[in-house]
Structure 1
Amino acid sequence: MPRPGPRPKRVNLAPRQAEIAIERIGGQGDGIGHFEGRPVYVPATVPGDRLSVRLAAAKGDGLAGEAIELLESGPARVEPPCPYFGRCGGCALQQLRDDAYAEWKGQLLADALVRRGLKDVELRPLLRVAPGLRRRARFALGTRGKGLALGFNMRDSHAIADIEHCLLLVPALDRLIAPLRSGLEELLAPGGHAALEATATETGIDLLIEQTGAPPSAAIRVRLGALAEELDLARVSWGRPGEAPEPIAMRRAPSESFGGVAVALPPGAFLQPSREGEALLLAEARAALKGAKQIADLFAGCGSFSLPLSQGARIHAVEGDKAATEALQAAVRRANIAHRLTVERRDLDRAPLQPIELKRFDALLFDPPRNGAKAQAECLAKSDLPLVVAVSCSVASFARDAQILVNGGYRLDWARPVDQFPWSAHLEIVARFSR
Structure 2
Amino acid sequence: MKLTIERLGHLGDGVAQGPNGPIFVSAVLPGEVVDGELSGDRLTQVRIVTPTATRVKPPCAHAKSCGGCLMQHANDSFVADWKIGIVRGALEGQGLEAEIRGIVTSPPRSRRRATFAARRTKSGALIGFHARGSDVIIPIPDCQLLHSDLMAAIPGIEALVKIGGSRTQELSFTVTRSDAGADVVADGGKPLDGPLRMELARVVETFGFARLKWDDEVVALRANPVQQIGSAKVVPPPGAFLQATEHGQKSLVALVKEALGPQKKIVDLFAGCGTFALPLAEGAELHAVEGDAEMMAALDKAARQTQGLKRVSVETRDLFRRPLEADEFKHVTGVVIDPPRAGAEAQIVPLAGSGVPVIAMVSCNPATFARDAKSLIGAGYRLEWVQVVDQFRWSSHVELVGCFRLAHM
TM-score interval, smaller chain: over 0.9
1:409 to 1:67, Cα distance in 2 relative to 1, 3 A: farther
What is aligned with 1:29?
Answer: 12
Compute the RMSD of aligned alpha carbons.
Answer: 1.8
User: 1:407 Cα shift?
Assistant: 2.1
Shift of 1:309: 0.5
The 2-side partners of 1:179 and 1:204 are apart by: 11
Q: In structure 2, what is the equivalent of residue 99 of structure 1?
A: 77
Specify every segment of 5 or more residues in structure 1 that has no aligned partner in the other structure, as ranges.
Answer: 1-17, 58-62, 240-244
When residues 149 and 23 of structure 1 are mapped into structure 2, their CA distance, relative to the original with a 3 A threshold, is same
3-state secondary structure, aligned to 1:105: helix
Q: Which runs of 5+ in 2 are unaligned?
A: none
Q: Given the alignment of the two structures, is residue 370 of structure 1 paired with residue 347 of structure 2, yes or no?
A: no
CA distance in 2: counterparts of 1:371 and 1:26, whole angstroms: 20
Determine if the alignment matches structure 1 residue 197 to structure 2 residue 174. Answer: yes
Q: 2:128 — aligned with what?
A: 151
**Which residue of structure 2 aligns with residue 6 of structure 1?**
none
Amino acid of the structure 1 residue aligned with 2:114 = A
Matched residue, 1:246: 217
Task: Tell me the amino acid that sits aligned with residue 52 of structure 1.
Answer: D
Find the counterpart in structure 1 of residue 201 from structure 2.
225
2:146 to 141, 164, 169: 169
Q: Name the aligned partner's letter for residue 186 of structure 1.
A: I
Aligned pair in 2 of structure 1 residues 352, 168: CA closer, same or farther (>3 Å)? same
CA distance in 2, matches of 1:218, 1:49: 59
Query: Aligned match of 1:425 in 381, 392, 396?
Result: 396
Secondary structure of the residue aligned to 1:204 is: coil
Q: 1:54 to 1:360 in 2, by over 3 A?
A: farther
Residue 259 of structure 1 pairs with residue 242 of structure 2? no
The Cα of 1:29 is off from its aligned counterpart by 0.9
CA contact (8 A) 1:208 1:237 kept: yes
Higher relative contact order (CA 8 A, sep 6+): 2
- Which protein shows a greater Rg? 1
- Structure 2 CA distance for aligned equivalents of residues 255 and 373 of structure 1: 29
1:333-387 per-residue CA deviation (whole Å, 9 max, x = no partner) reads 3236786111111111111110111122111001112221111112212322221
Could you tell me which residue of structure 2 aligns to residue 118 of structure 1?
A: 96
TM-score (norm 2): 0.94
CA contact (8 A) 2:232 2:306 kept: yes
SS at 1:426 equivalent: coil
Relative to structure 1, the CA distance from residue 46 to residue 339 in structure 2 (aligned partners, 3 Å threshold; closer, same or farther) is closer
Whole-angstrom distance in 2 between the partners of 1:215 and 1:355: 48
Residues 25 and 230 (structure 1), Cα distance of their counterparts in 2 relative to 1, 3 Å cut? same
Determine the C-alpha separation between the residues in 2 that align with 1:376 and 1:157. Answer: 37
Decide whether the 8 Å contact of 1:139 with 1:151 is kept in 2. yes
Distance 1:117 1:329 in 2: 40
Report the AA paired with residue 409 of structure 1. Answer: G
The equivalent residue for 2:211 is 235
Alpha-carbon shift at residue 404 of structure 1 (Å): 1.8
Q: How far 1:118 sits from its partner (Å)?
A: 0.9
The count of aligned residue pairs is: 406
Q: Distance in 2 between the 1:177 and 1:194 partners? A: 14
Kindly indicate whether residue 115 of structure 2 is the aligned counterpart of residue 134 of structure 1.
no
Q: Taking every aligned residue pair, what percent have the same amino acid on both sides?
A: 38
